[in-house]
A and B are shown apart, each in its own frame.
Chain A
Amino acid sequence: MAGQYLPVLLLVIIASFTVGLILLLNALLGPKAKQRNDFPSKYTPFECGSDMLEDNNKRVSIRFYLIALLFILFDLEGILLYPWAVVARSIGTVAYIEILIFIFFLAVAFIYAWRRNALEWR
């Protein structure tokens, strides 16, 4: 059973190897900073490219709140369709009716969100 997770393990190994390699090469080949202001750009999120325009530790508009929460809720409904897709054929008509009821409520919720202008950007 554990064999099923072999690809995950491989992914973890490859990912950590790649990241480790890049960090190692950086440490070996890059210039050594004795103190913090030797290379100020080393302490920015991206060491190369254009400079940051502004600090990213600032608040994002609250408008995203509604979008994010609606995304999560519809996402959850979407994920619950996976189990249905796996066994829809083996269970048969009952499963079909069940998912129709499920999607019906989802659709009504969607109509509600749509007609309350929750999907508009404002």
Chain B
Amino acid sequence: MSELFFDPAFLLGELGLAALIVVLTLADAFRKPLYQLFNGTTQLSELEYRNRQAGWLTGIGFVIVAALFIYTNKLTGGEPAILLHNSLKAGGGLLIGKLVILIAGILTLLLSIRYTSIESIPGIDYYLLLCFSLLGALTLIAAENFIMLFLALEMMSIPIYAMVGLKRYNPRSDESAIKYLLLGGFSSGFLLLGISFLYGATGSLVISDVLTSLSFPTIELATPQALFGALGLIFLFIGLAFKVSLVPFHAWTPDVYEGAATPITAFMSVAVKLSAFAVILKIFAGSTSFGGFDSILVGMLGFFALITVMYGNSVAIVQTNVKRMLAYSSIAHAGYMALAIAPMTHTVDAAKAVLFYGIGYVAMNMLAFGVLIYLTRQNHYCETLDDLKGVARKFPGAAAMMTIAMFSLAGIPPAVGFVGKIQIFMQLINAHMYITAVIALLFSFVALYFYINVLVVMYMKEPDTDKTIESSHQFPVWVAMAASALLIILLGILPTPLLNWSQQWASILF
């Protein structure tokens, strides 16, 4: 792997996203001439026009950025490099991760267009914050030193704190925003404490240097260096576990997922989770073994992951609000992903299993939330199980989509969730953690109940009120739903390409 100072070819996508942010801002700031130019044909109010303009610009921008990522791959010959004095890694398999996160952003955008106008959320702020958050996630998975790691994590989180509170006139949204902000700030504090302990123990901020110079000769942690190194790693893990909502640090998840605008919930549950997991993989499951500390980590990770699976799946059963149920299910899925690295084998296969599951999870969760967004109508959320009663009769398409999403989340073949779960359990079985595997498997049967319950309500119950939704502007939502459904089925039947991609992404973390 070569080390360069700066080669713009490697960062075309990120630079494109930054340019998009500037263009979005300036186009909205000086919108008057544009508005007059386009208003002759459309007769939109200025507010409506601003929403449209921001949406279109963001959409075109995201597609250009995606094209830039692919072009980068061609330009750099698929070879990764470390840029800017160990600030970022770029190129190679990392591009796959970046594309996946960008696709999550594009799906979020498609789901948002109608939702923001129903909720009268200011479009320009919404799309700008989405771009910032994406930029953060894209740099987070590429960060090579702890300074960039922290800055990128904040870049990813700060816009989301604001986006969660964008439904200003809804007290629940305000409540969830303040909860997320406070707990997120707290977790950033843990992360910083971890980073400073690691810096104190090793004298370096470059992640790979820190990991190689951390030495735990025995399990006893008998030197100050080992003690502070171990504490630093634990604090770092706590900070990241907040973002992926592993169990002792999950308390914000249900409230925030319920209160936030549904597309934001979808974005948070996939992009933030996936990129935070990429960082966990890089630090904890990377090629450098922690020696004596590994056995402590196996216990810690295994315990947290297992109680996460148990807690998430069992609490989800009693939820009557589908968004809340999906929040608990997302806690449980974080647990499954953490289970794959719990044996601390430091192999590419373990990282590959997590990334495969994470990428599959992007498609399934986007689809599940997409159906909820599709069914949302003016002055009425579609959130509770009662709202879903008899949906299959009125909207067979949406019900079919929900079926695919629920099957995949539950891990029923031929959906991609099934292949993902197999990958995870293979890791546990290879490491001879049979009891853990059996417990996790039992709880995924428990999970079947509440996923199937949604379908039962949709297909078997009588609709209790007359439900209609405006069919206008539903096209983007359909595109997003169809794309995710197609991905779920295709990757479930033919997982090989996705396995290769996650293999490439995983190998860059080593």
A, B in one complex: yes
Chain A contacts to B: CB under 8 angstroms: 105, 108-109, 111-112, 114-116
Q: Do the beta carbons of A115 and B22 come within 8 Å of each other?
A: no
B21 / chain A contacts, CB cutoff of 8 Å: 108
Of all chain B residues, the one with the shortest Cβ separation from A115 is B29
Distance (Å) between the CB of B169 and the closest chain A CB?
16
B1 / chain A contacts, CB cutoff of 8 Å: none
Cα distance A84–B25 in the bound complex, in angstroms:
27
3 nearest A-B residue pairs (beta carbon) = A115-B29, A112-B25, A111-B29
A109 / chain B contacts, CB cutoff of 8 Å: 25
The answer, yes or no, to whether B26 is at the interface (CB within 8 Å) is yes
B29 / chain A contacts, CB cutoff of 8 Å: 111-112, 114-116
Distance (Å) between the CB of B158 and the closest chain A CB?
11
Cα distance A108–B21 in the bound complex, in angstroms:
9
Of the candidates A108, A114, A116, which one forms a contact with B22 in the assembled complex, judged by CB atoms under 8 Å apart?
A: A108
| A-B contacts besides A108-B21, A109-B25, A114-B29, 14 pairs, CB < 8 Å | A105-B22, A108-B22, A108-B25, A108-B26, A111-B25, A111-B26, A111-B29, A112-B25, A112-B28, A112-B29, A115-B28, A115-B29, A115-B30, A116-B29
Cα distance A109–B24 in the bound complex, in angstroms:
12
Cα distance A111–B28 in the bound complex, in angstroms:
10
A-B contact pairs, 15 of them (CB 8 A): A105-B22, A108-B21, A108-B22, A108-B25, A108-B26, A111-B25, A111-B26, A111-B29, A112-B25, A112-B29, A114-B29, A115-B28, A115-B29, A115-B30, A116-B29
Give per-residue flags for B30-62: 1 if the beta carbon is below 8 A from chain A beta carbons, else 0.
100000000000000000000000000000000
Cα distance A55–B22 in the bound complex, in angstroms:
47
Cα distance A108–B30 in the bound complex, in angstroms:
12
Of all chain A residues, the one with the shortest Cβ separation from B30 is A115
Distance (Å) between the CB of B356 and the closest chain A CB?
37
The prevalent SS among residues of B at the interface is: helix
Distance (Å) between the CB of B181 and the closest chain A CB?
13
Distance (Å) between the CB of B108 and the closest chain A CB?
22
Cα distance A112–B131 in the bound complex, in angstroms:
15
Cα distance A99–B36 in the bound complex, in angstroms:
36
Of all chain A residues, the one with the shortest Cβ separation from B125 is A116
B30 / chain A contacts, CB cutoff of 8 Å: 115
Of all chain A residues, the one with the shortest Cβ separation from B24 is A112
A114 / chain B contacts, CB cutoff of 8 Å: 29
Cα distance A40–B26 in the bound complex, in angstroms:
59
Q: Which of A105, A109, A111 has the most CB of B within 10 A?
A: A111
B25 / chain A contacts, CB cutoff of 8 Å: 108-109, 111-112
A105 / chain B contacts, CB cutoff of 8 Å: 22
A116 / chain B contacts, CB cutoff of 8 Å: 29
Of all chain A residues, the one with the shortest Cβ separation from B124 is A116
Cα distance A115–B22 in the bound complex, in angstroms:
14
Cα distance A105–B25 in the bound complex, in angstroms:
11
A111 / chain B contacts, CB cutoff of 8 Å: 25-26, 29
Cα distance A79–B432 in the bound complex, in angstroms:
55
B28 / chain A contacts, CB cutoff of 8 Å: 112, 115
Cα distance A115–B29 in the bound complex, in angstroms:
5
A108 / chain B contacts, CB cutoff of 8 Å: 21-22, 25-26
Of all chain B residues, the one with the shortest Cβ separation from A114 is B29
A112 / chain B contacts, CB cutoff of 8 Å: 25, 28-29
Distance (Å) between the CB of B465 and the closest chain A CB?
39
Cα distance A111–B25 in the bound complex, in angstroms:
8
Cα distance A49–B21 in the bound complex, in angstroms:
55
Distance (Å) between the CB of A66 and the closest chain B CB?
13
Cα distance A114–B25 in the bound complex, in angstroms:
11
Distance (Å) between the CB of B155 and the closest chain A CB?
13
Distance (Å) between the CB of A37 and the closest chain B CB?
43
Cα distance A111–B21 in the bound complex, in angstroms:
13
Of all chain B residues, the one with the shortest Cβ separation from A101 is B18
